[in-house]
Structure 1
Amino acid sequence: MKNFVKKFLGFSVGPILGSLVSFITVPLTTFFISPSQMGKASMFTVIQGLVVSFIYLGIDQAYTREYHYEPDEKKLIQNAILVPMSFALIVSVLLIFFSKEFSVWMFESPRYSYVAYLFAVMCVGLVLERFILLLIRMRERSGEYSLFTVSLKVLILLTTVILIFTRKRDFLTIVYSTIIGQLLGDGVLFLRYRHYILPKFSEYDFSLIKRMCMFGFPLIISVSLTNLLNTMDRLFLRDFSTYSELGIYTAALKVAAIVQLVQSAFTTFWVPTAYRWNKEHRDMKVYVFVSQLVLFIFTLFFFGLLFTKKFIVLILSSRYSDAQFVIGLLALTPVLYTISETTTLGIVFSGKSYYNIWVSVIAFVPNIILNFLLIKPFGTVGAAISTATAYLLFFIGRTYFSKKCGFAIPSTNLTINCILLFIAGILSSLRNNYSYILVIVVFLICLISQRGFYYKLYDVIKHPDQWNLD
Structure 2
Amino acid sequence: MNNFLKKLVGFSIGPFAGALISLITIPLTTYFIIPTEYGKASMFTLFQTILATLIFLGVDQAYSREYHSSKNKLNLLQNAILVPFLLAITIFIICIVIPQFVSLVLFDSKAYKLPAILFGLMTVLIVMERFIMVSIRMQEKALEYSVINILVKLTVLISTFVFVAFIRRDFLAVVYSAIIGQLIADTYLLIRYRRLFNLKEFFFDKPLVSKMIKFAIPIVIATSLASLLHSLDRIALRAWSDFYQIGIFTAALKIAAILSIIQTSFTSFWVPMAYRWHDEGKNIKYFKIVSDSVLLLMSIVFVGVLIFKDLLVTFLSADYIDTKYIIGFLCMQPIIYTVSETTQLGIVFSRKSILNIWVSVVSIIPNVLIIYFMVPKYGALGASLATAVSYIFFFTARTYFSNKCGMKFSVVKHYIIMFILFIAAIFNSFDWSNVVLANTLLLIIVVVIQVSTIKSIRSLIKERNLSSRSTDLKELS
TM-score category (smaller protein): over 0.9
**Counterpart AA for 2:82:** L
1:308-387 → structure 2 map (5 Å cutoff): 308-387=308-387
Q: CA shift at 1:81, angstroms? A: 0.7
- Stretch deviating more after TM superposition (208-217 or 458-467): 458-467
- In 2, distance between residues paired with 1:85 and 1:198? 15
Q: Residues 26 and 316 of structure 2 are in contact (CA less than 8 Å); yes or no, is this contact kept in structure 1?
A: yes
Matched residue, 2:453: 453
User: Normalising to structure 1: TM-score of the pair?
Assistant: 0.96
- In 2, distance between residues paired with 1:466 and 1:338? 31
Matched residue, 2:92: 92
Deviations 1:387-433 (A, max 9, x none): 01111110111000111111102111112211211111121111223
- In 2, distance between residues paired with 1:348 and 1:423? 32
Matched residue, 2:161: 161
Q: CA shift at 1:465, angstroms? A: 6.2
Deviations 1:83-111 (A, max 9, x none): 11112112223344443333233322222
Q: Residues 329 and 385 of structure 1 are in contact (CA less than 8 Å); yes or no, is this contact kept in structure 2?
A: yes
- In 2, distance between residues paired with 1:265 and 1:202? 32
Q: 1:467 to 1:51 in 2, by over 3 A?
A: farther
1:402-417 → structure 2 map (5 Å cutoff): 402-417=402-417
Matched residue, 1:124: 124
Q: 1:161 to 1:462 in 2, by over 3 A?
A: same
- In 2, distance between residues paired with 1:44 and 1:467? 54
Q: CA shift at 1:298, angstroms? A: 0.6
Q: Residues 237 and 379 of structure 1 are in contact (CA less than 8 Å); yes or no, is this contact kept in structure 2?
A: yes
What are structure 1's unaligned runs of at least 5 residues? none
What are structure 2's unaligned runs of at least 5 residues? 469-477
Matched residue, 1:40: 40
Q: Residues 367 and 389 of structure 1 are in contact (CA less than 8 Å); yes or no, is this contact kept in structure 2?
A: yes
Q: Residues 286 and 467 of structure 1 are in contact (CA less than 8 Å); yes or no, is this contact kept in structure 2?
A: no
- In 2, distance between residues paired with 1:230 and 1:98? 28
Matched residue, 1:396: 396
Question: Does 2:75 match 1:75?
Answer: yes
1:14-29 → structure 2 map (5 Å cutoff): 14-29=14-29
The size of the alignment, in residue pairs, is 468
Matched residue, 2:239: 239
Q: Residues 23 and 254 of structure 1 are in contact (CA less than 8 Å); yes or no, is this contact kept in structure 2?
A: no
Q: CA shift at 1:435, angstroms? A: 4.1
Q: Residues 20 and 261 of structure 1 are in contact (CA less than 8 Å); yes or no, is this contact kept in structure 2?
A: no
- In 2, distance between residues paired with 1:113 and 1:436? 49
Matched residue, 1:268: 268
Deviations 1:141-200 (A, max 9, x none): 111111111011101111111111221210000001111111111111111111212434
Question: Does 2:190 match 1:193?
Answer: no
Deviations 1:38-76 (A, max 9, x none): 000000111111011111100000011111000121111
- In 2, distance between residues paired with 1:332 and 1:169? 32
Give SS of 2:71's match: coil
Q: CA shift at 1:201, angstroms? A: 6.7
- Stretch deviating more after TM superposition (431-440 or 20-29): 431-440
Q: CA shift at 1:442, angstroms? A: 3.5
Matched residue, 1:304: 304
Q: Residues 160 and 173 of structure 1 are in contact (CA less than 8 Å); yes or no, is this contact kept in structure 2?
A: yes
Q: CA shift at 1:437, angstroms? A: 4.1
Q: Residues 125 and 186 of structure 1 are in contact (CA less than 8 Å); yes or no, is this contact kept in structure 2?
A: yes
**Counterpart AA for 1:367:** N
Give SS of 2:258's match: helix
- In 1, distance between residues paired with 2:467 and 2:330? 35
1:80-229 → structure 2 map (5 Å cutoff): 80-200=80-200, 202-229=202-229
**Counterpart AA for 1:461:** I
**Counterpart AA for 1:235:** I
Q: Residues 427 and 438 of structure 1 are in contact (CA less than 8 Å); yes or no, is this contact kept in structure 2?
A: no
**Counterpart AA for 1:389:** V
- In 1, distance between residues paired with 2:136 and 2:463? 32
- In 1, distance between residues paired with 2:467 and 2:253? 38
**Counterpart AA for 2:18:** G
- Stretch deviating more after TM superposition (341-350 or 417-426): 417-426
Give SS of 1:204's match: coil
- In 2, distance between residues paired with 1:188 and 1:178? 16
Q: CA shift at 1:441, angstroms? A: 4.0
- In 2, distance between residues paired with 1:207 and 1:348? 20
Q: Residues 259 and 335 of structure 2 are in contact (CA less than 8 Å); yes or no, is this contact kept in structure 1?
A: yes
- In 2, distance between residues paired with 1:362 and 1:387? 13
- Stretch deviating more after TM superposition (196-205 or 140-149): 196-205
| CA RMSD of superposed structures (Å) | 1.6
Give SS of 2:166's match: coil
Q: Residues 22 and 258 of structure 2 are in contact (CA less than 8 Å); yes or no, is this contact kept in structure 1?
A: no
**Counterpart AA for 1:406:** G
- In 2, distance between residues paired with 1:351 and 1:466? 37
Give SS of 1:109's match: coil
Q: 1:37 to 1:18 in 2, by over 3 A?
A: same
Deviations 1:189-242 (A, max 9, x none): 111111212434743211111111110111011111111111211111111111
- In 2, distance between residues paired with 1:231 and 1:464? 44
- In 1, distance between residues paired with 2:396 and 2:260? 20
Identity value in percent:
42
Matched residue, 1:289: 289
Deviations 1:270-304 (A, max 9, x none): 11111111111100011000001101111111111
- In 2, distance between residues paired with 1:167 and 1:237? 29
- In 2, distance between residues paired with 1:91 and 1:201? 28
- In 2, distance between residues paired with 1:21 and 1:91? 31
Matched residue, 1:254: 254
Q: CA shift at 1:446, angstroms? A: 2.0
- In 2, distance between residues paired with 1:76 and 1:465? 39
**Counterpart AA for 2:19:** S
- In 1, distance between residues paired with 2:401 and 2:94? 37
Q: CA shift at 1:466, angstroms? A: 8.3
